[in-house]
Structure 1
Amino acid sequence: MSDPPGLSVGVSVLLQDEAGRVLLQRRGDDGRWGTPGGRLNPGETFLAAAHRELHEETGLSCPGLTLLPLPDGLVDGPDFRHDYPSGQAVFMVGLRAWGTISAAAVEDAAPDDSGETLELGWFALDNLPALSGAVNVASMNLLRARAGLGPLVNSA
């Protein structure tokens, strides 16, 4: 019998460039694309975690990074179950941070050597790659709605 799903408290970082494209990372665990982000450390604030995760997974910083207000910023509910390749299952609960940086900033990107990030890329909201998990699909749908585009179908 497998363990029941746990909770993962985390943050997603939605970065856009001057053209409205979104920065995504190709993930090392499933090879699909998603936003930088991850779990909070004990005692860490959501915004501090967003800055830390962004730096760890991209080598970039975004001084103007802010938490999105509710309800847009909130990640919760039954749709956000994530099954890791290891077999561990969690329900993700968290917030989204948003900011803008220059597209050229990626030229100086230097993800850490953890293997979480295989590649970084800018993507137009109407031409997104295969996304990793429901949280990334929901985050892209939020950005797409703000740009006047219809929702994606969760194929994760």
Structure 2
Amino acid sequence: MTKKTKRIDYWRDPDAPKPTSRKVSASAFVRDDEGRVLLLRRADNGLWTIPTGGVKKGETVAQAGVRECREETGLDIEVTGLVGVFSTPDHVIVYMHGDKIDEVRQPINVCLRARVVGGAEAPDPREARELRWVAPDDLAPLDIHPAIRLRIEQGLKGLDPYIG
């Protein structure tokens, strides 16, 4: 199976294509001892994001979050809590090969709190152009999709898990 070649994210767009599937993903909201947030710049669309990827058959959401972070950043993490569950129909992702739409997905994301326990920063160039630790006050000017920004904002609040 070849990797999807193009991804288009829609947010609160009435003209977005209708979803054809739903898939659960796990994301990792990772902070260091200085309170900075781990971000990577996506290779496919150039947007900043937190480590995120699909939950595979035979693994838990927590295992998926740990695996995705390792694959995308080279860092080993430990899950320490839950930021929330994000399932709004406002977010639709289109995956395309050339001009052909392969899938229109309405994601369900479980965002996990985590901390680094090992590994070394080594972003996978197929996944990430760049890896960066960002102070909360420096997040505003970064090009972050609204669905990801919501996860980050909820993670920074540190309150009860978000369900939405």
TM-score range for the pair, normalised by the shorter chain length: 0.7 to 0.9
User: What is aligned with 1:142?
Assistant: 154
Which of the residues 66, 75, 91 maps onto 2:80?
A: 66
8 A contact 1:13–1:98 mirrored in 2: yes
Instruction: Provide Cα deviations, 1:101-140, integer angstroms capped at 9, x if missing partner.
Output: 38xx78x312335x11111001112221111x33311112
Offset, 1:23: 0.5
Offset, 1:78: 1.2
Higher helix share: 1
Offset, 1:75: 1.2
* Match status 1:101 vs 2:113: no
Higher strand share: 2
Instruction: Provide Cα deviations, 1:73-106, integer angstroms capped at 9, x if missing partner.
Output: 111121232234654421110211111238xx78
Q: Which runs of 5+ in 1 are unaligned?
A: 148-156
8 A contact 1:125–1:143 mirrored in 2: no
> Relative to structure 1, is the Cα distance of residues 37 and 30 closer, same or farther in structure 2, using a 3 angstrom cutoff?
same
User: What is aligned with 2:131?
Assistant: 120
Distance 2:96 2:135 in 1: 28
Give the TM-score normalised by structure 1: 0.76
8 A contact 1:83–1:89 mirrored in 2: yes
Does the residue aligned with 1:96 lie in a helix, a strand or coil? strand
Which of the residues 32, 45, 48 maps onto 2:47?
A: 32
Distance 2:89 2:147 in 1: 11
> Which residue identity is paired with 2:143?
A
> Which residue identity is paired with 1:109?
E
Offset, 1:4: 4.1
8 A contact 1:8–1:93 mirrored in 2: yes
Aligned residues: 137
Offset, 1:3: 7.4
Does the residue aligned with 2:34 lie in a helix, a strand or coil? coil
C-alpha RMSD over aligned residues: 2.5
Quote the sequence identity (%). 31
